[in-house]
Amino acid sequence: MSESDHQNGTDSSLMFDPSLHDRALAGWGIRRRRGDLAHEEKNSEENILLNSPEDSTLKGASTAGCAPPEGNPPVEVLENLDLGSISQLVASCERCGLCEHRQNTVFGSGDPSARLMFVGDAPGEEEDLQGLPFVGRSGQLLDRILSQGLKLTRDSVYITNVLKCRPPESRDPLPEEVQSCGSYLDAQIERVNPEMIVALGKPAAQFLTGEDTSLKRLRGRKHVYKGVPVVVTHHPAFLLQQPQAKAECWQDLQVVIETLGLK
């Protein structure tokens, strides 16, 4: 953001050509209605109709978004709550064994009406201590990806995880833990109503695509979760361990840049 933009309270990185945006989105092959959502007033579009072009560079498609499994908060309860109230509900959640080990629940942070949403797998040690997502080394790398790659700030996107509590020793989420937290993430997606979601790492990608397969097979394809296009890429923690994979992450993010007109 330029100094003048900062002083004027605008973010030039989020300004885009609607026609370019529509053309970029045309490869996803979905229809998404936005008129019934609370922050629709900020956009003049009531519907986005997406037609799949023949020359799309993305291959394959999947649509996920099943009803929450048993044990989740009733859908009708979450439907009547805003993000703040859902966060309070999460803070008192005892639906799986992770509540026994947590210091804090980690709900989400950023712009509650962001165009772009990032979903990771679960909080780590630093996140558990601070109660905020992506504040450790992985979060520092995500900040650089946002600022240097997408020309965005943490405050201009929404960041969360599939799980809201840290698994012991920061292990991968278990299926039953994902089931317990699934409706919370669904509610976040519905409230934020992003134009695109970036799934960071395999657990988040599997949840948002509904496919139990490797990240390699999920990358480079178009996915849709509850009407929202999903881009799959590596988790920042993996990039810290395998820096050579940053090129693949950058390749994945080109779709985000093109679709949202962030050039």
Q: What is the pLDDT along the chain (263 residues), one digit of tens a residue?
A: 433 333 344 343 344 445 545 555 555 555 444 443 444 444 333 332 233 333 333 334 444 543 333 445 555 678 889 999 999 999 999 999 999 989 999 999 999 999 999 999 999 999 999 999 999 999 999 999 999 999 999 999 999 999 999 999 989 999 999 999 999 999 999 999 999 999 999 999 999 999 999 999 999 999 999 999 999 999 999 999 999 999 999 999 999 999 999 97
Per the domain annotation, does 54 fall within a domain? Answer: no
Beta bridge partners of 231: 198
CATH number of the domain to which 140 belongs: 3.40.470.10
Per the domain annotation, does 249 fall within a domain? Answer: yes
Per the domain annotation, does 3 fall within a domain? Answer: no
pTM of the model: 0.75
Which domain does 114 fall in, by range? 11-49+73-260
Among residues 26, 67, 32, 65, which one has the least CA distance to residue 47? 32
Per the domain annotation, does 227 fall within a domain? Answer: yes
User: Torsion-angle region of residue 51: left (phi > 0), alpha (psi -120 to 50) or beta?
Assistant: beta
Taking residue 169's Cβ as centre, other Cβ atoms within 10 Å add up to 7
Per the domain annotation, does 4 fall within a domain? Answer: no
State the total domains in the chain.
Answer: 1
Per the domain annotation, does 63 fall within a domain? Answer: no
Per the domain annotation, does 68 fall within a domain? Answer: no
Per the domain annotation, does 58 fall within a domain? Answer: no
